[in-house]
Amino acid sequence: DVKVTQSSRYLVKRTGEKVFLECVQDMDHENMFWYRQDPGLGLRLIYFSYDVKMKEKGDIPEGYSVSREKKERFSLILESASTNQTSMYLCASSSVLTGTLLVTEAFFGQGTRLTVV
Amino acid sequence: RKEVEQDPGPFNVPEGATVAFNCTYSNSASQSFFWYRQDCRKEPKLLMSVYSSGNEDGRFTAQLNRASQYISLLIRDSKLSDSATYLCVVNTTPGNQFYFGTGTSLTVIP
């Protein structure tokens, strides 16, 4: 089974702190994603990466950065945490179906519920 | 216009009922389609992938209509354990992003 593991289930941080959320996948997937999920807004893409050291902005990248130094690890960084970044953060990975342009489904980590106080 | 739109519900149905959810997508270049299930405070988990016109798995049937750009999910003989939020997800290449609907809430009532 594919496993996507996020480093923490729950985090409480103070305003202004630098926050690191780590995500590791064990299936050699090319693509990795960071989302946040808020009530009524669904999942919104923050950043994604389709290869080591590659990153692309999603819909809401402001206030965030990412790092992908190794294929299996994709880190989300909150440069200076603010209360409006209190949310559920979900990491996901996916691959490409061999010989096609189609992608496999996104496999999700268990989520990190971040509270910024 | 949102990439993926779903009726948020809630849908409250009795056990044994058949319920259908619809989802529309805006990008005609979309290639891969999925239905996910998400339980309260948990991560989304794949229910079904839809790469061609449809897919069936037990009580669940997904249909894809490319001409009208919609995907449906049919649940037959609803169980209490089907209570969850169902997310419609579309992937578009190039770009390779997943676009999520906001989810449809289902509660199956005894």
Q: Tell me the CA distances in angstroms from B85 to B31, B35, B64, B76, one per residue in order.
A: 23, 10, 20, 16
Chain B, nearest residue to A44 by Cα = B100
Q: Which residue has the tokens 């489904």?
A: A105
Q: Which residue has the tokens 């050699």?
A: A28
Measured in angstroms, the CA of B79 and the nearest CA of chain A are apart by 25
pLDDT of residue A2 exceeding 70, the answer is no
Residue A31 CB contacts under 8 Å (≥ 6 apart), including other chains: A48, A49, A50, A93, A94, A95, A96, A103, B96
- CB contact, 8 Å: A99 with chain B? no
Cis peptide before B94 (omega within 30 of 0): yes
Average pLDDT over all residues of chain A: 93
Query: Out of A58, A105, A111, whose CB is closest to B43?
Result: A111
* Residue A15 tokens, joined: 């305003």
B58-74 pLDDT, tens digit each: 999 999 999 999 999 99
| Partners of residue A58 in chain B, C-beta under 8 Å | 97
Amino acid B32: pLDDT: 87
Would you call B43 and A110 a contact, using CB atoms and an 8 Å cutoff?
A: yes
Per DSSP bridges, beta strands B19-25 and B45-50 are unpaired
Amino acid B7: pLDDT: 87
Most B CBs within 10 Å: which of A29, A30, A43, A115, as the mutation test of the B interface? Answer: A43
Q: Which residue has the tokens 């106080």?
A: A117
Cα–Cα distance, A46 to B97 (Å, whole number) = 11
Cα–Cα distance, A20 to A113 (Å, whole number) = 13
pLDDT of residue A101 exceeding 70, the answer is no
Average pLDDT over all residues of chain B: 92
What is the distance of C-alpha A110 from the center of its chain? Answer: 11
**Of A33, A34, A88, A8, nearest to B39 (Cα)?**
A88
Q: Tell me the CA distances in angstroms from B22 to A66, A104, B64, B91, one per residue in order.
A: 34, 22, 10, 17
A48-68 pLDDT, tens digit each: 998 999 999 999 999 999 999
Q: Which run of H or of E encompasses B31?
A: strand B30-38
